[in-house]
Amino acid sequence: MSDQLFIGIDSGTQGTKGVIFSRETGLILAEASTEHELIENIGGRREQKPEWWIDACTDVIDRILSQTAASRNQVCAIGVSGQQHGMVPLDNQGDVIRPAKLWCDTETSSQCDEITARVGRPEDVVELIGNSIAAGFTASKILWLKQHEPRNYDRLAAVLLPHDYINFWLTGQKKTEFGDASGTAYFDVKTRTWSQALLNAIDDSGKLQDCLPELIGSDEPAGTIKSEIAERFQLNPNVIVSSGGGDNMMAAIGTGNVVTGVVTTSLGTSGTIYSYSDTPVIDPNGELAAFCSSSGGWLPLVCTMNVTVSTELTREILNLPVEELNTRASAAPAGSEGILLLPYFNGERTPALPNASGVLFGLTSTNYRVQNVARASMEGATLGLRYGLDVLRKQGLTPTEVRLVGGGAKSSLWRQMVADIFACPIVCPESSEAGAMGAALQAMWCYLNQTEGKVALQELTEKYIKLDESTRAEPEGSTTERYDEIYQKYLQLNKMMAPMFQEP
């Protein structure tokens, strides 16, 4: 039997990445990436034209197919990972009505409050769907469209999430799966159904119910590729497109986070920390995003807004290249000789301090040194993620190992710092493209379920997700104890500063 190949696409805010993965060798045979533009303004607008994603996908697929000597007929399935929460409005011809509002768009913040008020109290919303209505989620974007662009809203015939739109381009089918649907704020994560109460709170005319895509399971296909797609890329017309999912859900698959006990942490511009669960995990305080996974279970997740934001801003102000920042930080002791940074440069989501700003605390004439400030920029971001880990722990999710991804994970100093602050072993996957890799593996899972009988996704992740043991870091006892003390000071400083962070 000839080798079977699977394409994984990861369409994010900054760009699109793609890989071709071999079932036989377990290797990525080719990879490529391209960047996206962004529409933004000072009022919080963050939008992209969906046609840009399609152009990027076309470019990436062309390049990865041309990089491998294997036959294009060996491609069996495609999986798509996409940025969560975006709103892609389509008319009754399937054409895009206006640019998509993205997860990072804050122009619709007031609509979050309005929808919540129509339901009742914030806790009533959590009771109904398992989540609060966060500014990034899709629900408020739809109400914003209705209020600010009524003519466009009148044309609305379908609302798709970004990865669903790419699947629609590939297959002509309007479908979505439970993981990505969890981030809309009109989906009940407990029953895995659309919430009529929340849809009515957005528009009580009943219009929205007819605009929603069909819900499918994570192991089901969205469809097969359209004939014109097969011709365009010279692929077999029977290529399956899997359900796909949101970027965090697919990165969970790409890091082997499909069983309890594993936690994935991303040291990216912002930070995420999440773990697999066999049952819904609802946080009554709303600090935890209660998502479904794209692997058949649930994926409770915490997001912080400032991780490499902290180190990049510090590096710029100190005028240091990345390597030098790392070297300087390595020269400082754990705790940065008493300097503590609350890195809330973009406000903060967890803890819930949206109007917060950065605080550099504990400066003296003897500790105000480049190496201490450099290290504090890493420690402050990691302490914020520790807060997120404790939110997970409060819900009974105790990690046995943390899989670390993102740009910050390239630093051996930062990896050890995470192990010490989390008091947990950490390790990085061999592939740094967790989203695209997860999409390719989900595509394989879907294909095998369709052609060879039921296969457990865990079997595939255990076989194909390889860990880079050279990156492994174990917590060091005395340093962990020191960081426990510092973490308590971090909590105190948060509490003390919270009143100062309120809107004037």
Cα 390 to chain centroid distance, Å, stands at 19
Rounded average pLDDT over 120-144? 93
Mean pLDDT of the chain: 95
The percent of residues above 90 in pLDDT, for the chain, comes to: 88
Judge whether residue 410 has pLDDT over 60: yes
pLDDT value of residue 70: 87
pLDDT value of residue 2: 84
Residues in contact with 450: Cβ distance below 8 Å, sequence separation at least 6, in sequence order: 221, 240
- Residue ranges of the domains in the chain? 5-243, 256-504
Cα–Cα nearest to 374, from 404, 339, 344, 408:
339
Judge whether residue 222 has pLDDT over 90: yes
Confidence of residue 269 (pLDDT cuts 50, 70, 90): confident
Confidence of residue 333 (pLDDT cuts 50, 70, 90): very high
What are the C-alpha distances in Å from 308 to residues 40, 334, 468?
Answer: 21, 19, 22
CATH number of 5-243, picked from 3.40.50.10420, 2.60.40.10, 3.40.50.720, 3.30.420.40:
3.30.420.40
Burial class (CB in 10 A: 0-12, 13-18, 19+), 294: buried
Judge whether residue 180 has pLDDT over 90: yes
Enumerate the H helices of 156-194 as residue ranges.
162-171, 178-181
Judge whether residue 92 has pLDDT over 90: yes
Task: Return d(Cα 20, Cα 31) in angstroms, integer.
Answer: 7
Select the more confidently predicted residue: 13 or 52.
Answer: 52
Topology agreement, domain 5-243 and domain 256-504: yes
> Which residues belong to the active site?
247
pLDDT tens digits for range 460-492: 999 999 999 999 999 999 999 999 999 999 999
Indicate the residue type of 166: I
pLDDT value of residue 503: 62
Indicate the residue type of 104: C
- At the topology level of CATH, where does 256-504 sit? Nucleotidyltransferase; domain 5 (3.30.420)
pLDDT tens digits for range 63-84: 999 999 889 999 999 999 999 9
Cα–Cα nearest to 127, from 138, 137, 116, 135:
116
Judge whether residue 504 has pLDDT over 70: no
Task: Return d(Cα 105, Cα 108) in angstroms, integer.
Answer: 7
Token pair 């390239």 in the structure block, residue: 410
Confidence of residue 26 (pLDDT cuts 50, 70, 90): very high
Task: Return d(Cα 138, Cα 199) in angstroms, integer.
Answer: 11
Cα–Cα nearest to 176, from 192, 191, 190, 153:
192
pLDDT value of residue 134: 85
pLDDT value of residue 1: 60
Task: Return d(Cα 243, Cα 80) in angstroms, integer.
Answer: 8
Confidence of residue 285 (pLDDT cuts 50, 70, 90): confident
Residues in contact with 50: Cβ distance below 8 Å, sequence separation at least 6, in sequence order: 88, 96, 99, 100, 162, 165
Confidence of residue 340 (pLDDT cuts 50, 70, 90): very high
Judge whether residue 264 has pLDDT over 70: yes
User: How are beta strands 100-101 and 46-48 bridged, if at all?
Assistant: antiparallel
Confidence of residue 502 (pLDDT cuts 50, 70, 90): confident
